[in-house]
């Protein structure tokens, strides 16, 4: 996170082009590749796009019976239309965008809302005291937004890998194109660093995906029609400031006192990741799991400097992004608060860093 809010806002403006919930036209030069499904969906939802795929049809009339039915999709599954296919892949964010209104059947929109409410929690609009790099606070006003209840799992990320998303450059920021080929697993195949032959470790389907850099997290978020949360959003969701009691954030989702039984940190003695829905007693009041512990999580915000001694700052030689929450091997509980300021290199792929995604409430169509 930058040390002043003006620099923070400048970064937010630069990143708007990469927000799937703020679609913008994609203009990319060579290499020439057939656009992947994620890119084609972004084009479909982009107003004024000159060349776009045919709009998806969610129902048609069976000529033999005269009754509504669903056409087969491009996977050969005759039971799923485009919208239902997206929902089945946890990509309901695309279905619910306001730009999709009029193109999505009401029944599909309701199914998408059901999936969203199951997997994401609403964080209401309001002010949050944002922790700056110098340790001071600045009030930040936030729109209402949704945040994933859990970190993205290995099972969820595998869909992204199997879809060929590592070859779909249109969902990756252009500056990282030369590095995408290096994002491989133990066998040299595209995927997280700790995987092998495109597969996650046995028995860890519901563990958070780790070994992914910030750009991989961004690409996944774009692929599912979401985005990474900001530091201000994380502090509001994890600290749950109550305006009627002064609006200050808690240090942990459950309060201000650390309790080892509520989170997977070093003090818990587990020593590795756990499934994303464990430690329910450490969840936020609206049901968001493991905002403290298990894995650090990537945020959207860059980190220009890291505070050290009073009036001193460490400035990295490489671009950093903010991480938050602490991990299974975080020794000091004070580093696992929602206000703690630290970061990691954008291309680093650590065994204790994962991520979760967010959606802006105002960019979604209303429930039919």
The whole-number pLDDT of residue 253 equals: 95
Per-residue tokens: 181 = 């080929």
The whole-number pLDDT of residue 267 equals: 93
Nearest to 324 by CA among 348, 305, 352: 352
Count of CB atoms within 10 A of residue 141's CB?
9
The whole-number pLDDT of residue 49 equals: 37
The whole-number pLDDT of residue 307 equals: 56
CATH topology (fold) of 1-368? 3.90.1580
Per-residue tokens: 55 = 């709009």
Nearest to 350 by CA among 307, 317, 321, 310: 321
Alpha helices in the chain (DSSP H): 5-15, 37-44, 82-88, 92-96, 106-119, 154-162, 177-180, 214-223, 231-239
The whole-number pLDDT of residue 244 equals: 60
The whole-number pLDDT of residue 102 equals: 84
The whole-number pLDDT of residue 59 equals: 41
The whole-number pLDDT of residue 20 equals: 46
- For residues 358 and 149, the answer to whether their CB atoms sit within 8 Å is no
- Exposed/middle/buried for 92, CB within 10 Å: 0-12, 13-18, 19+? buried
- For residues 80 and 87, the answer to whether their CB atoms sit within 8 Å is no
Count of CB atoms within 10 A of residue 63's CB?
6
The whole-number pLDDT of residue 201 equals: 97
**Residue-wise pLDDT tens for the chain (368 aa)?**
433 444 444 444 444 444 444 433 333 333 444 555 555 555 544 433 333 333 333 343 343 444 444 433 433 343 458 899 999 999 999 999 998 888 899 999 999 999 999 999 999 999 998 887 667 788 889 999 999 999 999 999 999 999 999 999 999 999 999 999 999 999 999 999 999 999 999 999 999 999 999 999 999 999 999 999 999 999 999 998 776 666 788 999 999 999 999 999 999 999 999 999 999 999 999 999 999 999 999 999 998 765 555 565 566 658 899 999 999 999 999 999 999 989 999 999 999 999 999 999 999 999 88
Domain ranges of the chain: 1-368
Alpha-carbon span 91 to 359, nearest angstrom: 12
Distances (CA, A) of 338 to 100, 244, 254, 320, 325: 34, 20, 11, 18, 6
Alpha-carbon span 115 to 11, nearest angstrom: 31
Phi-psi region of 49 (alpha: psi -120 to 50; beta: other; left: phi over 0): beta
Using DSSP, state whether 232 is helix, strand or coil.
Answer: helix
What is this structure's pTM?
Answer: 0.80
Residue matched to tokens 């799991």: 289
Give percent helix, percent strand, percent coil of the chain, each to the nearest 5. 30, 15, 55
């Amino acid at each position: 996170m930058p040390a002043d809010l003006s620099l923070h806002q400048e970064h937010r403006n630069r990143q708007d082009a990469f927000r799937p919930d703020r679609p913008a036209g994609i203009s990319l030069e060579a290499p020439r590749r057939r656009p992947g499904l994620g890119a084609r969906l972004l084009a479909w939802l982009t107003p004024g796009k000159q060349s776009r795929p045919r709009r998806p049809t969610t129902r048609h009339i069976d000529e033999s019976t005269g009754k509504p039915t669903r056409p087969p999709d491009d996977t050969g599954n005759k039971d799923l239309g485009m919208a239902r296919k997206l929902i089945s892949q946890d990509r309901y964010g695309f279905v619910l965008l306001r730009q999709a209104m009029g193109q999505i059947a009401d029944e599909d929109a309701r199914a998408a809302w059901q999936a969203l409410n199951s997997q994401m929690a609403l964080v209401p609009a309001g002010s949050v005291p944002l922790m700056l790099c110098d340790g001071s606070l600045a009030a930040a006003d936030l729109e209402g937004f949704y945040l994933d209840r859990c970190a993205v799992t290995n099972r969820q990320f595998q869909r992204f890998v199997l879809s060929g998303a590592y070859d779909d450059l249109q969902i990756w920021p252009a500056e990282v194109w030369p590095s995408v080929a290096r994002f491989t697993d133990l066998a040299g195949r595209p995927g997280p660093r700790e995987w092998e032959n495109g597969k996650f470790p046995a028995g860890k389907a519901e563990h958070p995906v780790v070994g992914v850099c910030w750009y991989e997290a961004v690409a996944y978020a774009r692929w599912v029609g979401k985005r990474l949360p900001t530091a201000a959003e994380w502090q509001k969701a994890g600290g749950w400031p109550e305006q009627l009691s002064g609006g200050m954030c808690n240090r942990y989702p459950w309060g201000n006192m650390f309790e080892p039984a509520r989170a997977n940190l070093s003090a818990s003695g587990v020593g590795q990741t756990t499934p994303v829905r464990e430690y329910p007693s450490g969840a936020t009041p609206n049901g968001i799991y493991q905002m403290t512990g298990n894995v650090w999580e990537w945020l959207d915000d860059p980190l220009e400097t890291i505070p050290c001694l009073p009036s001193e700052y460490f400035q990295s030689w490489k671009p950093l992004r903010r991480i938050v929450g602490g991990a299974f091997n975080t020794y000091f509980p004070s580093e696992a608060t929602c206000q703690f300021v630290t970061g990691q290199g954008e291309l680093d792929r650590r065994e204790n860093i994962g991520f979760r995604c967010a959606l802006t409430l105002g960019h979604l169509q209303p429930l039919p």
